[in-house]
Amino acid sequence: HQRHLSDKFFCVYLDATYIPLKRVTHEREAVYIAIGIKPNGHKEVIDYCIAPTENIEIWSEMLKGFKSRGLEQVELFLSDGVVGMKEAICQSYPKAHFQRCLVHVMRNISAKMRVDDRKKALDEFKQIHTQSNKEMTVQVLHEFYQNWEKAYKNVVRDLRQVEPDLLTFYNYPPAIRASIYSTNMIESFNNRLKRKTKPKTEFPTEPSLDTFIGVQAMDYNDRYFNRIHKGFGQVRDTLESYFD
């Protein structure tokens, strides 16, 4: 939580998961997690935080903490649709760009549609991360609007409002786009935490949970210390050029 951080990460993934922790009564505690990939393709858990629920104030404090610990520049942040996240990022990293996780967006679309419409709609929406360029993607997205606006006015309205944040990943080299249109990478770490906690009904104290997550985070960082994340090795020089 206090170690000095690298001065720059190309991208930082932000996500929260829930793990049982014993308070006054049995509760599931929010664990805020940040994982970053450096321009050289090396990835690491930057930090994590435990709190009763997920809220933007805690994310804001974490971001400020990154800055105070030496992380000066981030090119791209990825997160779900937590209200206020983009603004919180801008306060600490005004030059950073933002990508909304498309997997979370698809889950939201699915939750708001009738069962009979879900597969067709999601198959159409998935096409926006398989195009060769942003222009073609905009066309596909606008066709999605036309096809579904009449039946799901609110769904299409919400997508229109965040459209720029859905397509940010197209501004970067094709070799890494599969890694930066969603927070799937950090969710794999979250799933690992949950698998490891299955034998435990709940953690008895917050320090015990903190220690458990810390051990998992350090193990993750050790395992990936010298590994280059898929696609990043091909464009290392290009990614370095995004920084001052």
- What is the pLDDT, as a whole number, of residue 25? 56
Question: CB count, 10 Å around CB of 17?
Answer: 20
> Which range has the worst mean pLDDT, 8-17, 150-159, 182-191?
182-191
> Measuring CA to CA, how many Å separate 1 from each of 65, 66, 179?
9, 10, 26
Domain covering 8-101+183-240, topology: Nucleotidyltransferase; domain 5 (3.30.420)
- pLDDT band at residue 188 using 50, 70 and 90 as cut-offs: confident
Percentage of residues of the chain with pLDDT beyond 90: 79
Question: Which range (78-82, 122-126, 203-207) has the least confidence?
Answer: 203-207
Region of poorest pLDDT, from 76-80, 84-88, 191-195: 191-195
Share of the chain above pLDDT 70, in %: 97
Number of C-alpha atoms within 13 angstroms, CB side, residue 122?
Answer: 18
The pLDDT score that the predictor gives to residue 114 is: 97
Q: What angle do CA 46, 163, 188 make, to 5 degrees?
A: 35
The residue that leads in pLDDT, 104 or 28, is: 104
Averaged pLDDT for residues 108-115: 96
pLDDT at 8: 97
Over 80: is that where the pLDDT of 23 sits?
Answer: no
pLDDT digits (tens, 9 = 90+) for 196-238: 877 666 788 888 889 999 999 999 999 998 899 999 999 999 9
**3-class DSSP assignment, residue 38:** coil
Q: What is residue 122's predicted lDDT score, i.e. its pLDDT?
A: 97
What pLDDT is recorded for position 91? Answer: 96
Is residue 102 pLDDT above 90, yes or no? yes
Average pLDDT, rounded, for the chain: 92
Find the mean pLDDT for residues 52-74: 95
Q: In what order do the strands lie in the sheet with 26-37?
A: 43-51, 26-37, 8-22, 73-79, 97-100
